[in-house]
Each structure stands twice: as structure tokens, then as C-alpha cells.
């Protein structure tokens, strides 16, 4: 990699940009610890006049936080299982089995990625409602068991890199196609499967549109949607709102920091080869 | 399901086993590019292969039929219907499309939404390309703590959109927001942001930031995804190119302009297409900051939001479906158009993968 030695000016530009990018998050965390009065009377002071840690328990108790959290976890875990299962099986069909129709169908997989959600939203909503899934978390989980074009693409690219000889050896040992898939390919694909699991977990954690469309009963709201209810009803308690937002963001940030490599490689690969 | 074909397959083996039974003819499968190699007649039953392929693809295939193919056809049909969910769809010909055309000409709801969408896209996509390249270039410099800076630049893009919307609504608060406070240092006062209807691109209002400018600012903050792709692509540029340019006496700026930028053109193109698609489809943050209304005065009523409200608030499914189809076709034409122009400016040669 060609790297120019940074001049002091360049260094300053980088540090300044980093500060601009970091300020919103730092400001959010610091303000979530301020007393409510400080936000209105002295909105531009950086540090809290008093570190009010009680904002966090207050934010949690001012909404059914634990129930929202439970719903979110059900949603995330269900969706991760669904995506990993359905997408790995489908990706195997598109990467490792030679059948007619494979290329055409894989072209369709790619095409569905480019189809705006607007086109399918209404009939899909009515169909899932017809199936009795309206106002259940299942409306958000069941579709993940039916594959996702982006993840199928990602896994297919990974499966293609596994040497064909390994499958061949499995075949000679009498393994069925399913056996080759589950005993050879899957154990070798942990990095790619982790990427899918991670992306799906975050997508489900963050998902707002799904609950907006399919859920009406507050008992079933996940955090992302529950938090939105909180915006309108506690508009004058910005410190609590920011505490709730910080708490909601924290797991994602931790997950990202723990799995940074997986993350960045996943994005770079799919972006360049896409 | 059996594999059939009169070859004596064991029915109990089921579809997934049928290919393995062919282990007596390994030579048929050793070649990696089977399609181009003449197939010995002893190769596994082709029907079996089809069924195995279909079996493995079946979760996606069912999903495709239920969640894409059927909705695709249904929404096309409904776009020619009056459909309010209470009574069955009622065919009314092209009335929905004519209504959209009339609104477009009058600059009313649909026309306004289309304008808002175009404005937001035209503002945020070019800026995100510039910022993505800028940040990635900075990260490619020899600087201590590079990993930390990369994390800082990337982190906002994984932030849940609900949380970042809450955060930016407050940062851009016209009265108490920290952004207006910072802008007041350089003499730009009293910006309305999410509460404002003005447009920066229009000449009289260069420093009047309204709701769509605020949304574009928010999207720039989340540019990390594209930045990572640019960063990877910069790492792939062969060093000889920079060295050759240096020998030819090109300074830092010229090397950037004549080597880095052309060598990134395939990523710029990717960013352009994906950025356009994402901006046109942006919904959640716009719904959140306008509290689901597109207010103030409809200035953040983008197509996605207008479509959502028409469908689920006004229960005007036919009108909403027609709008979805127009959006789809426009996006398709724009994407094809971009691909056409790409021949003239995107370089794929010399990219190390």
C-alpha cells in the first residue's frame, strides 16, 4: 500500500475530522448524564454540572424497557437462526451444486436485491396478515427463514472459495450432498456465517419499519419501536431520551468493537465484488 | 419425493442423497468446469441433480414466490385498481397513473414528494462520495492511531437509525442545538433544520438549512460503509502507479487526481448506484424526524413516506401501488443510464483483487 508520510497539516485535518465525527456520540453520552434543567438552561456546556447516573434507571422505568428488550432478543435470535439456516442452504445450491436453472435463479436472487421495497410492501403485508401473522413477532421472523438475497450472495462467494476436492473426498467417503454441506462446508465457513449472523442481528436490533408495519400491540414492541413511542411522550425530558438511546446503542457498539474485523471485511468484500 | 428415472435409486435416500450415489463415477465430477467438459454418459442422473439443487434452494425459492413474485404481480395489478382493503380491488384502468401525472404537473403531493426525493438524493449522494473518498484517503496516510480513527469514522454507520434520529433531532434543534451554536461562530445564525422548509440548493437560500439538508447531513455522518470500501480499494492500487507518477514529477495532489481517483472509479460507480438506490428508498429516519407526517409543510415528504402514508393511513392501495411502480421504473431507468455512462469513465483494468 502506498502511504504518503503525513505532514503536520494532514495530521491536523485527520484529528479535526475525527473530532467532528465523534462529537455527536460524545455529546449524547455526556448529555444523557446531565440533570434535565441543564439541557434547557445551559445547553452548550460540555460536562454535566452533576453526574446524574439515575437518568439510566429512570429511563428504563419510564417505559416497559425489559419487555421491549425481551421482544428484541426474541426477534434477533429468531432472525439470526432463520437467516443462517436458509441462506447457507440456498447459497450451497448456488455455489456447489451444478444444476440447470441455477444461473438463471441466481440472477433472480441478485435482481431481488435491486427491487425497491415499495413494490412488494403492500401485497406482502396483506399476505402475512392473511396468514395470521399480523401483530406477532413471527411476521418479522418468518421471512428470515425464506432467505435473503444479500446474505445468499455473501455466503455463495465464500463457498466458491472452498476447494472442490474436499467435496469430492466427502463423496468418495459416501457422504450425501446434505452430509457434504453440513459436515464439510459449514464447519469451514464459520467466518462467513459469523458475518451473516452479525449483520442479521444488527439489522433486527435496529429494524424499525417491520414493527411499524406489523405490530400494533405495545406488549409486542421491540426496543427500536418502543423507543419511538418514548420520543413523543417524553419530549421534554431529553436527558432521559438520550439515556434510553445510549442504552439502546451500546450493545451494537460493543458488538462492533468485538467483531470489527469481521464487520469491515464483510463490507469491503461484498462492496467490491458486488 | 423420489429421484425416479428408472435407475434404481433408493427411495428412502431422498433427494439429497441421490448425487452421492454416483460415487462409482468420480471422473465425471473431478473437473471444476463441468459445463464446458463433455459429460460421460455415466454422470449422475440429471433429474436428481435438478432436484438436489431445487431442494437446497427451496427456502429461498419459496420466499421468492411468496415475498417477491406474487407481490410483484399483485402490486402491478392493483396499480390499475381502486383498492381500500374494505372491498375487493376494483379495476379502474389507468386512473391512478393519470392522477399521479396530474399531481406531478401541479406540483402537489406526488410532485412535491418526487422533488423532495430528487433534492435529497442529488445533495447526499455526491457529498457522500466526496466525503467517503476524503476519509478513506486520510486513513491511508501514515498516521499513528489509524485504527482508532477508522473506528471513529465508521462507528456512526452502525448506530441504530432510531437512536441517531433522536440524537440529530436534538443536535439540530433550532433553539438549543449544538450545531446551530457552532455555526453561529462563523456567522451563520438561526437555522431551522428539521423544522425548516427552505432549500439550500435554491439560489436565494444558500445558508438556509431546511429539513432535507438536515437529513443529508445525517446521511453524511453515516458514510462509514462506503468509506470502508474506498479504503480497501485504495489498498489494492498497485504501488508502481504512484511511484511512476512520482518519477514523472507528479506532486501529491496530481497523484491523487490522476492515479487514486481513476483507480477508484469502479468504487465511485458502485457508490453512485447504491447511494442513489438507498437515498431514493430512505424512509425510517425521515419518518422519525417528521414524526410520520413529512412536515413541516410537506418538505420532508419524500416518495417513500408519501407512499407509506397513502397506503396505510389513507388506505389508498391502488394509488400507492401505482406510485411504487413509477418509482421502480424511474430507478431502473436511472440505474441503466448510469451503467451506460460507466463505460466512459469507469476503469476496471489493473485492479488487484
Superfamily name with CATH number, domain A63-233:
MetI-like (1.10.3720.10)
Which residues pair with residue B82 across a beta bridge?
A: B90
Check whether residue B159 and residue B52 sit in a common domain: no
**A2 and chain B: CB distance < 8 Å anywhere?**
yes
Check whether residue B223 and residue B169 sit in a common domain: yes
In a domain, B23, yes or no: yes
Task: Give the span between the Cα atoms of A80 and A87, in whole angstroms.
Answer: 10
In a domain, B229, yes or no: yes
Check whether residue B48 and residue B191 sit in a common domain: no
Dihedral over alpha carbons A100, A106, A108, A109 (to 10 degrees): 150
> In three state form, how does the secondary structure of chain A look?
CCCCECCHHHHHHHHHHHHHHHHHHHHHHHHCCCCHHHHHHCCCCCCCCCCCCCHHHHHHHCCCHHHHHHHHHHHHHHHHHHHHHHHHHHHHHHHHCCCCCHHHHHHHHHHHHHCCHHHHHHHHHHHHHHCCCCCCCHHHHHHHHHCCHHHHHHHHHHHHCCCHHHHHHHHHCCCCHHHHHHHHHHHHCHHHHHHHHHHHHHHHHHCCHHHHHHCCCHHHCCHHHHHHHHHHHCCCCHHHHHHHHHHHHHHHHHHHHHCHHHHHHHHHHHHHHC
> Dihedrals φ, ψ of A5, to 5°?
-70, 130
Check whether residue B316 and residue B256 sit in a common domain: yes
Check whether residue B180 and residue B50 sit in a common domain: no
> Dihedrals φ, ψ of B82, to 5°?
-95, 125
Check whether residue B149 and residue B51 sit in a common domain: no
Which residues pair with residue B142 across a beta bridge?
A: A5
What count of other Cβ atoms lies within 10 Å of the Cβ of residue A29? 15
Check whether residue B57 and residue B121 sit in a common domain: no
Among candidate residues B166, B292, B156, the one with its CA nearest the CA of residue A59: B166
B160 chain-A contacts, CB cut-off 8 A: 205-206, 224, 248-249, 252
Check whether residue B110 and residue B54 sit in a common domain: no
Check whether residue B55 and residue B187 sit in a common domain: no
Q: Kindly report, residue by residue over A221-253, the tens digit of the pLDDT.
A: 999 999 988 887 776 788 999 999 999 999 999
Interchain CB distance below 8 Å, A164 and B32: yes
Backbone conformation region of residue B301, classed left if phi is above 0, alpha if psi is from -120 to 50, else beta: beta
The enclosing domain of B293 has a CATH number of: 1.10.3720.10
Residue-range definition of the domain harbouring residue B25: 11-61
B158 chain-A contacts, CB cut-off 8 A: 202, 252-253, 256, 263
Task: Give the span between the Cα atoms of A258 and A238, in whole angstroms.
Answer: 30
pLDDT attached to residue B176 = 84
Query: Grid coordinates in use for A129?
Result: 396478515
Check whether residue B142 and residue B210 sit in a common domain: yes
Check whether residue B56 and residue B121 sit in a common domain: no
A252 chain-B contacts, CB cut-off 8 A: 158-160
In a domain, B258, yes or no: yes
Please identify among residues 99-118 of chain A the ones whose CB lies closer than 8 Å to any CB of chain B: 99-102, 105, 108-109, 112, 114-118
Task: Give the span between the Cα atoms of A84 and A105, in whole angstroms.
Answer: 20
Q: Kindly report, residue by residue over B261-315, the tens digit of the pLDDT.
A: 999 999 999 999 999 999 999 999 999 988 877 777 677 889 999 999 999 999 9
Residue A272 or residue B220, greater confidence: B220
Check whether residue B161 and residue B20 sit in a common domain: no
pLDDT attached to residue B349 = 56
Inform me whether the pLDDT recorded for A39 exceeds 90. Answer: no
Q: Where are the domains of chain A?
A: 8-58, 63-233
Side-chain half-sphere CA neighbours of A93 within 13 A: 31
**A171 and chain B: CB distance < 8 Å anywhere?**
yes
Among candidate residues A244, A251, A248, A253, the one with its CA nearest the CA of residue A32: A244
**A176 and chain B: CB distance < 8 Å anywhere?**
yes
Domain count, chain B: 2
Mean pLDDT of A145-150: 95
In a domain, B330, yes or no: yes
Report the complex ipTM: 0.89
As a whole number, the mean pLDDT across chain A is 90
Query: Grid coordinates in use for B278?
Result: 438507498
Inform me whether the pLDDT recorded for A124 exceeds 70. Answer: yes
In a domain, B101, yes or no: no
**What residues of chain B score a pLDDT lower than 70?**
1-44, 198-206, 297, 349-353
Residue A177: band (very low, low, confident or very high) from pLDDT cuts 50, 70, 90: very high
Residue A96: band (very low, low, confident or very high) from pLDDT cuts 50, 70, 90: very high
Interchain CB distance below 8 Å, A114 and B60: no
Closest-CA residue of chain A to B72: A120
Side-chain half-sphere CA neighbours of A83 within 13 A: 29
Amino acid at each position: 500500500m502506498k502511504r504518503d508520510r503525513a505532514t503536520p497539516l494532514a495530521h491536523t485535518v485527520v484529528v479535526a475530522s475525527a473530532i467532528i465525527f465523534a462529537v455527536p456520540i460524545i455529546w449524547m453520552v455526556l448529555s444523557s448524564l446531565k440533570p434535565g434543567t441543564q439541557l434547557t438552561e445551559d445547553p452548550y456546556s460540555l460536562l454535566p454540572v452533576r453526574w446524574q447516573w439515575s437518568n439510566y434507571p429512570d429511563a428504563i422505568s419510564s417505559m416497559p424497557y425489559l419487555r421491549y428488550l425481551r421482544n428484541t432478543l426474541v426477534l434477533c435470535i429468531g432472525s439470526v437462526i432463520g437467516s443462517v439456516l436458509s441462506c447457507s442452504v440456498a447459497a450451497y445450491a448456488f455455489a456447489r451444486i451444478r444444476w440447470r436453472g441455477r444461473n438463471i435463479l441466481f440472477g433472480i436472487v441478485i435482481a431481488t436485491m435491486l427491487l425497491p421495497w415499495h413494490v412488494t410492501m403492500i401485497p406482502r403485508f396483506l399476505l402475512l396478515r392473511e396468514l395470521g401473522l399480523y401483530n406477532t413477532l413471527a411476521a418479522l421472523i418468518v421471512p428470515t427463514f425464506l432467505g435473503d438475497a444479500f446474505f445468499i450472495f455473501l455466503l455463495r462467494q465464500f463457498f466458491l472459495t472452498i476447494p472442490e476436492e474436499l467435496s469430492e473426498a466427502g463423496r468418495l467417503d459416501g457422504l450425501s450432498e446434505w452430509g457434504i454441506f453440513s459436515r464439510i462446508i459449514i464447519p469451514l465457513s464459520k467466518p462467513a456465517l459469523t458475518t451473516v449472523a452479525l449483520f442479521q442481528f444488527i439489522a433486527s436490533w435496529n429494524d424499525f419499519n417491520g414493527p411499524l408495519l406489523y405490530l400494533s400491540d405495545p406488549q409486542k414492541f421491540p426496543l427500536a419501536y418502543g423507543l419511538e413511542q418514548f420520543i413523543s411522550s417524553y419530549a421534554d425530558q431529553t436527558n432521559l431520551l438520550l439515556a434510553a438511546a445510549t442504552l439502546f446503542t451500546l450493545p451494537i457498539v460493543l458488538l462492533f468493537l468485538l467483531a470489527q474485523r469481521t464487520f469491515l471485511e464483510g463490507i469491503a468484500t461484498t462492496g467490491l465484488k458486488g | 419425493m423420489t429421484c425416479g428415472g428408472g435407475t434404481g435409486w433408493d427411495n428412502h435416500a431422498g433427494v439429497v442423497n441421490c448425487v452421492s450415489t454416483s460415487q462409482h463415477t468420480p471422473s465425471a465430477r473431478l473437473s471444476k468446469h463441468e459445463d464446458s467438459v463433455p459429460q460421460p454418459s455415466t454422470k449422475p442422473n440429471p433429474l436428481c441433480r435438478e432436484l438436489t439443487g431445487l431442494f437446497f434452494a427451496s427456502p429461498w425459492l419459496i420466499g421468492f414466490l411468496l415475498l417477491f413474485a406474487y407481490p410483484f404481480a399483485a402490486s402491478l395489478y392493483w396499480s390499475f385498481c381502486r383498492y381500500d382493503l374494505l372491498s375487493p380491488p376494483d379495476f379502474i384502468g389507468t386512473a391512478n397513473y393519470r392522477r399521479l401525472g396530474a399531481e406531478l404537473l401541479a406540483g402537489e403531493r406526488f410532485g412535491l414528494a418526487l422533488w423532495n426525493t430528487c433534492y435529497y438524493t442529488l445533495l447526499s449522494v455526491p457529498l457522500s462520495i466526496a466525503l467517503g473518498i476524503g476519509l478513506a484517503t486520510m486513513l491511508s496516510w501514515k498516521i499513528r492511531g489509524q485504527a482508532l480513527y477508522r473506528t471513529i469514522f465508521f462507528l456512526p454507520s452502525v448506530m441504530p437509525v432510531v437512536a441517531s434520529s433522536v440524537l440529530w433531532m436534538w443536535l439540530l434543534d433550532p433553539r438549543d442545538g449544538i450545531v446551530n451554536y457552532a455555526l453561529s461562530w462563523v456567522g451563520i445564525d438561526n437555522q431551522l433544520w428539521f423544522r425548516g422548509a427552505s432549500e439550500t440548493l435554491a439560489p436565494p437560500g444558500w445558508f438556509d438549512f431546511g429539513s432535507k439538508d438536515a437529513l443529508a447531513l445525517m446521511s453524511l455522518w453515516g458514510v462509514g460503509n462506503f468509506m470502508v470500501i474506498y479504503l480497501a480499494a485504495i489498498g489494492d492500487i498497485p504501488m508502481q502507479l504512484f511511484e511512476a507518477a512520482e518519477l514523472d514529477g507528479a506532486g501529491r495532489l496530481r497523484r491523487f487526481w490522476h492515479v487514486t481517483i481513476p483507480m477508484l472509479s469502479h468504487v465511485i460507480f458502485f457508490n453512485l448506484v447504491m447511494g442513489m438506490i438507498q437515498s431514493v428508498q430512505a424512509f425510517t429516519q425521515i419518518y422519525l424526524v417528521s414524526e410520520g407526517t413529512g412536515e413541516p409543510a410537506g418538505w420532508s415528504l419524500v416518495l417513500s413516506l408519501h407512499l407509506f402514508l397513502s397506503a396505510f393511513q389513507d388506505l389508498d392501495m391502488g394509488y400507492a401501488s401505482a406510485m411504487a411502480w413509477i418509482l421502480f421504473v424511474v430507478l431502473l431507468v436511472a440505474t441503466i443510464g448510469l451503467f451506460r455512462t460507466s463505460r466512459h469513465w469507469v476503469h476496471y483494468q489493473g485492479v488487484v483483487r
